[in-house]
Chains A and B, each alone.
Chain A
Amino acid sequence: MDQQAMNLPPAPVAGTRPLSVSTGSPRGPRRSRAAVLGESVLEWVIRLCGISAIFFVFGIFFFVLREGVGFLFGGLNLGEFFFSTEWYPTSLSHVRYGVLALIVGTFSVTGLAMLIAVPFGLGAAIFVSEFCNDRLREGLKIVIELLAAIPSVVWGFIGISVMNPLIQEVFHVPVGLNVLNGALLLALMSVPIMVSIGEDALKAVPDSFREASLAMGATRWQTVRRVLLPAAKNGLLAAILLGVGRAVGETMAVLMATGHAVNIPKSPFDPVRTLTATIAAELGEASVGSPHYQVLFIIGILLFTITFAVNLVADLVVKGTAKG
């Protein structure tokens, strides 16, 4: 902010070219009509790009709904859809479109993943923001960034080739593709987003808070627990919510690592199938326009709604901090 208070003109900046602005008339620069027109056209293009994100979000909702709407209002039994665990979309005599088991599958994997990821993510965020020196912080942030960059299909491959035998051996279970496997992968995938957003939230607490607490003789940990965590509460909550959103929407890793059985899990070692994995696995085989195909789009709308709600709540929570 001190730059803005300075009265000195800014130093010349490399890479800039002199502006062709006339100094003659006080009524404004003399520019050709084409230049003025060109600029206003360009500004409209910029405005259009600016609001494009809104169009895309509505577009996603519209086009996904468009493919599924026929069956949504004509034929689909919503009670069965939400409360039946029977998912037999391709059966000839006993067609059932109940996604309860898929919803439970999604939330069991996400829930277990969050049990692992939340303590680790927030702990690491506190460590990176409050307990380490600059060099270590830079190093850790680079690792976090690289961890976040690993493609989800590679995580899925790791689930099959590394975690699967590991879980079989450690827990003496016949199959390692299950809730636990998917949850471990999702935890590793959602920790980076939690750390970076959690760290931002802690950084946003003014240093005067820390200084006041340390001056009273509190240790760093006491400062974190009594001053920083309450002050950054909303930002940390948002970090967790965005992690949840990421985990719910994750597709390839859970498709490959959770065992792919429509099933309400009774233990972490049961295989399940999630909403996302079902779409990915079955859309290729459903013929365009068939009830099965349309149901998959309705599941897409369900997923869109869940993640939209999670993101909206996270946004409101963060805006709450800004006001308070």
Chain B
Amino acid sequence: MATTFGETPFIRKKRRDEAIVRVVLGLMALAMVVPLLLIVGYLVERAWPLLSLDFIFTNPTHGMREGGVWSALLETLYLVTVSLLIAAPVGVLAAVYLNEYAKKGWLTRIINLAVVNLAGVPSIVHALFGLGAFVLFAGMGRSILAASLTLAIMTLPVIIASTKEALASVPLSFREACWNVGATRWQTIRGIVLPNSISGILTGVILQVSRTAGETAPIMFTGAVFFKRIEEGNPFAYSLSDQCMALSMHLFTITTQVTDAPKALPYATAVVLLGSVLLVNACAILVRLRLRARKKW
């Protein structure tokens, strides 16, 4: 290729450097792929003897040394649902404000900074906040409601960030056309902006769900308990003011507190937790890919 200019040592060195760098950087990127595959593979392999639908649908028994994960999984669903019902409307409307109403200025700057900081606050500090504000100050006690509120505030930035991105990707000309026929700001948002960014918003909501399902620290002191007996097969066993188990908390408990459990039990629990979280994330990725394929502008 470069023979026109001759293979001077300088060019040869340049080429060699390029090749080396490409390989080194490629290996660095590979260093992220490999652990993910190895870890998931190892966990599934160790968990294999116990993995079955039965494991998912039976309650833990004998001091969590036997049985499945049903009650913990069910309660994670409760926490996720309640916190989603709180976080989704607030987060979407906050993003609508930031993208459609806010003017560039100090207030917007401070709001954005607050969102970034809310995402950066350590999860255990969120737990302290939930304990101080919801459990003690608001008098909710340790309950599903207090834990869900804590989780909702913690995951709010996830929804705000991806909704903002989705709203910003709707071209300005769409809005201008709508304003020009006399629609108000809100009519434009409802009629044009939200329908055109719904997939992006959905992605954010799904990511919030996956994040909520995996968190442990924020619920440790606001509502989750080591063990709670529920009736098998009854999916409505809880009220908002009850304490609850949670899959993430359950994994922590049987890993650190229950020492004589069968070897495969914690692995199987970890696989169920990891599997459900990754499954939810895969949904978000699929939604996003479909959105990109369908996009018309």
Contact B156 A56 (CB under 8 A): yes
Partner of A161, one of B90, B133, B266, B278: B266
Partner of B137, one of A49, A63, A147, A150: A63
Question: Interface size class for chain B?
Answer: 35 or more
CB contacts under 8 Å to B, within A70-109, are: none
Tell me the complex Cα distance, A17–B190, Å.
Answer: 10
Q: Count of chain A residues with Cβ under 8 Å from any Cβ of B?
A: 100
Is B185 an interface residue, CB under 8 A from the partner? yes
Contact B101 A46 (CB under 8 A): yes
Tell me the complex Cα distance, A303–B127, Å.
Answer: 12
Tell me the complex Cα distance, A123–B213, Å.
Answer: 31
Contact A151 B273 (CB under 8 A): yes
CB contacts under 8 Å to B, within A1-49, are: 3-4, 6, 9-11, 13-17, 19, 21-23, 28-29, 39, 42-43, 45-47, 49
Q: Which residue on B lies nearest to A296, using beta carbons?
A: B128
Task: Enumerate chain B residues within 8 angstroms of A242, measured Cβ to Cβ.
Answer: 120
Contact B277 A50 (CB under 8 A): no
Instruction: Give the shortest distance, in Å, between B283 (CB) and chain A (any CB).
Output: 11
Partner of B26, one of A67, A127, A152, A279: A127
Instruction: Give the shortest distance, in Å, between B55 (CB) and chain A (any CB).
Output: 17
A-side interface mostly: helix
B63-71, B77-85, B175-183, B233-241: which lies at the A interface? Answer: B175-183
Contact B120 A152 (CB under 8 A): no
Partner of B128, one of A16, A67, A143: A67
Also in contact, A120 and B28, with CB within 8 A (given A54-B111, A251-B122, A303-B125): yes
Also in contact, A153 and B252, with CB within 8 A (given A9-B177, A19-B187): yes
Contact B132 A63 (CB under 8 A): yes
Contact B14 A222 (CB under 8 A): yes
Contact B94 A57 (CB under 8 A): no
Is A239 an interface residue, CB under 8 A from the partner? no
Contact A23 B118 (CB under 8 A): no
Is B52 an interface residue, CB under 8 A from the partner? no
Instruction: Give the shortest distance, in Å, between A203 (CB) and chain B (any CB).
Output: 14
Is B293 an interface residue, CB under 8 A from the partner? no
Q: Which residue on A lies nearest to B46, using beta carbons?
A: A161
Q: Which residue on B lies nearest to A53, using beta carbons?
A: B114
Partner of A140, one of B29, B156, B249: B29
**What would be 17 A-B contacts, judged by CB atoms less than 8 Å apart?**
A3-B297, A10-B173, A45-B93, A47-B101, A49-B97, A50-B96, A51-B97, A52-B90, A57-B117, A57-B118, A120-B32, A140-B33, A145-B281, A188-B32, A219-B15, A276-B124, A284-B221
10 closest Cβ contacts across the A-B interface?
A: A151-B214, A50-B97, A249-B122, A123-B28, A49-B93, A127-B25, A63-B132, A53-B114, A63-B133, A300-B128
Since A132-B26, A140-B33 are in contact, a sample of 12 more A-B pairs with Cβ atoms closer than 8 Å, ordered by chain A residue number, is A15-B195, A21-B181, A49-B91, A140-B32, A150-B274, A249-B121, A249-B122, A251-B122, A284-B221, A297-B128, A300-B128, A307-B120
Binding site for A on B (CB under 8 A): 14-15, 17-18, 21-22, 24-26, 28-29, 31-33, 35-36, 39, 42-43, 46, 89-91, 93-94, 96-98, 101-102, 107, 110-111, 113-118, 120-129, 131-133, 136-137, 153, 156-157, 160, 171-174, 177-178, 181-187, 191-192, 195-196, 198, 207, 210-211, 213-217, 220-221, 248-249, 251-252, 255-256, 266-267, 270, 273-274, 277-278, 281-282, 285, 296-297
